[in-house]
Amino acid sequence: MTADEREVSRTDFEKLYKTYYMQVYSYVMTIVKNAAMAEEITQQTFYKAMTAKEKFRGGSGEYTWLCAIAKNLSADELRKAAKKADLEDHEAGDGLDISAALEDREATLRIHMVLHVLEEPYKEVFQLRVFGELSFRDIGSIFGKTENWARVTFHRARLKIQEKMGEK
């Protein structure tokens, strides 16, 4: 790669960073709910995008591509944090009210069991809207669909979840 090509590539990356940094950071923040972790994941997202730019096929918009990278990195980071927290809780052996903790865990487990069996795209649309707090426009963009499609899919997902929760 010549010096001119490196300069163009650096300029393109700087433009991408300046254009989408706050949007990607906000998206990650809605997922991880921790400013320091969101900052780190956002930085990793742009680093990964910069190092994998030639893998970008252009089948989606740049923002959608960056959100997909950020979503995967966020999931990895949350998994690591959950494992670490479980290990620390186990080692600490604190004297919390065990029956209340078990009830909360059981309710959470029921909800996640319903989400686990929910078919796609309902599951992901519901998670992006509720846990990711994304707009319907952003959700539609991620799937390459319309805002209205995202609204209808979310509504159907809610109905399916309510139906399955009623069965249990």
Domain positions in the chain are 1-94, 95-168
What parts of the chain have a pLDDT lower than 70?
1-9, 53-59, 86-104, 107, 167-168
Residue 56: count of CB within 10 angstroms of its CB:
13
The pLDDT assigned to 8 comes to 46
> For residue 119, what is the DSSP state?
P
Q: Which two tokens stand for residue 30?
A: 């809605």
The pLDDT assigned to 34 comes to 87
The pLDDT assigned to 107 comes to 67
Residues in the chain: 168
The pLDDT assigned to 70 comes to 93
pTM of this prediction exceeds 0.85: no
Q: How far is CA 90 from CA 83, 95, 96, 105, in A?
A: 11, 11, 12, 15
Q: Which CATH class is domain 1-94?
A: mainly alpha
* Fold agreement between 1-94 and 95-168: no
Measured CA to CA, the distance from residue 76 to residue 56 in angstroms comes to 21
The sign of the CA dihedral 107, 166, 123, 158 is negative
Smallest CA-to-CA distance from 115 within 103, 131, 126 is with 126
Measured CA to CA, the distance from residue 113 to residue 2 in angstroms comes to 54
Where on the phi/psi map is residue 133: left (φ > 0), alpha (ψ -120 to 50), or beta? left
Q: Phi first, then psi: what are they for 74, rounded to 5°? A: -65, -45
The pLDDT assigned to 115 comes to 78
Q: Phi first, then psi: what are they for 69, rounded to 5°? A: -60, -50
What does CATH list as the number for 95-168? 1.10.10.10
